[in-house]
Structure 1
Amino acid sequence: MNFKSLLGVILVASISFSANAEKIAVLGVQQALLASSAAADFREKLKSEFSKEDRSLLDLEKQVKAARDKITKNKDLASAEELKKMKIQFQKVFAEYQRNGQALQQKRMEREQAFIQEMRPKLDKVIRELIEKEGYDVVLAKQATLFAKKEVDITPRVVELLNKQ
């Protein structure tokens, strides 16, 4: 099925679907979660939690650049043996930089996943309450819509309610 055919099927389905649904909204779930005050607090907490590791990684990055520059500046002046030692030192520092960077990235991802797991029940509760209170028949994922008027986007409202939790 080509794109035009798929678009036609979606259009026909949405028209017939819309005829039966009275109140439709779109929601950017991840956008709402990331825009919440809890997410802002979490980002600050993460920043302070990993500040020591970030500084250490920056120091390693400086060492990598210095080792690279030393090789570049001395490649015509140094003996083959000295150049070999400089390259080995560069490789060691670079490998450590990569390992530490990957480990830090993994820790951040794990913490972010834990935050999302923690926030998901609160987010689901807010969404359910809003749907019931406002009487929505259909709430579509914002990312899955081709077009939606700003008025039908309930993401800002979800953020507001989530911040009150």
Structure 2
Amino acid sequence: MFRPLIIILGVLLSFNAMAEKIVILGAQQALLGSKAAAEFRGKLEKEFSSEQKQLVDLQAQVKQIQEKIKKGAGTQSKEVQDQQRVQFQKAYGEYQRLGQALQQKQRQREDAFLKEMQPKMDAVIRDLIDSEGYDLVLNKQATFYAKPALDITSRVIELLNKK
């Protein structure tokens, strides 16, 4: 039962002896924390502002129709209720369609941004590894605990902002 734990501990201790300079990096955090990402978010907001407004307007319309249906339940004729349900279904369908299309467009733009930024990020990390002589860079999300002094994420953000 303790044998695997002992083996893992032994490997880690021997690995630790070989690697002198170990650091952690939140790569996604660094990318999203850069000035380029902030500028991109601003551009994205402007680019999709009219579609976002349409989506908000449709949402309000759907809620308004829904309220009419609730208020008129039992007091309106079946024909009027059916018309309102059809109206609700059309508005709600349009709301869903527009929302999904908007999400897909945003995802595509975000993916393009990340592809564009990846080489810059890789270059910054390589330069930092070379200049600081790091032996091992671990993914911050994969670590259970690390001293804050080992985290180079803010340094990577700083260097990304200079590129």
**TM-score scaled by length of structure 2:** 0.95
Describe the SS at the equivalent of 2:76: coil
Task: Give the 5 Å matches for 1:110-149.
Answer: 110-149=108-147
- What is residue 66 of structure 2 aligned with on the other side? 68
**Number of residue equivalences:** 163
For residues 134 and 55 of structure 1, do their structure 2 counterparts lie closer, same or farther at Cα, with a shift above 3 Å needed? Answer: same
Render the CA deviation track for 1:42-92: whole Å, top value 9, x for unaligned.
000000000000000000000100010010001121111110110010001
For residues 116 and 89 of structure 1, do their structure 2 counterparts lie closer, same or farther at Cα, with a shift above 3 Å needed? Answer: same
- Sequence identity of aligned pairs in percent? 56
1:150 counterpart (148, 151, 156): 148
Describe the SS at the equivalent of 1:25: strand
Describe the SS at the equivalent of 1:139: strand
- What is residue 27 of structure 1 aligned with on the other side? 25
- What is residue 77 of structure 2 aligned with on the other side? 79
Render the CA deviation track for 1:18-41: whole Å, top value 9, x for unaligned.
111110000000000000000000
Where do 5+ consecutive residues of structure 2 fail to align?
none
Distance (whole Å) between structure 2 residues aligned to residue 134 and residue 161 of structure 1? 13
Kindly provide the amino acid, as one letter, of the partner of residue 37 in structure 1: K
User: How many Å apart are 1:5 and its aligned residue?
Assistant: 7.5
- What is residue 107 of structure 1 aligned with on the other side? 105
Distance (whole Å) between structure 1 residues aligned to residue 85 and residue 27 of structure 2? 49
Describe the SS at the equivalent of 2:24: strand
After TM superposition, which residue ranges in structure 1, 4 or more long, deviate above 4 angstroms? 4-10
For residues 11 and 95 of structure 1, do their structure 2 counterparts lie closer, same or farther at Cα, with a shift above 3 Å needed? Answer: farther
Distance (whole Å) between structure 2 residues aligned to residue 5 and residue 92 of structure 1? 63
For residues 35 and 85 of structure 1, do their structure 2 counterparts lie closer, same or farther at Cα, with a shift above 3 Å needed? Answer: same
**TM-score scaled by length of structure 1:** 0.94
For residues 132 and 57 of structure 1, do their structure 2 counterparts lie closer, same or farther at Cα, with a shift above 3 Å needed? Answer: same
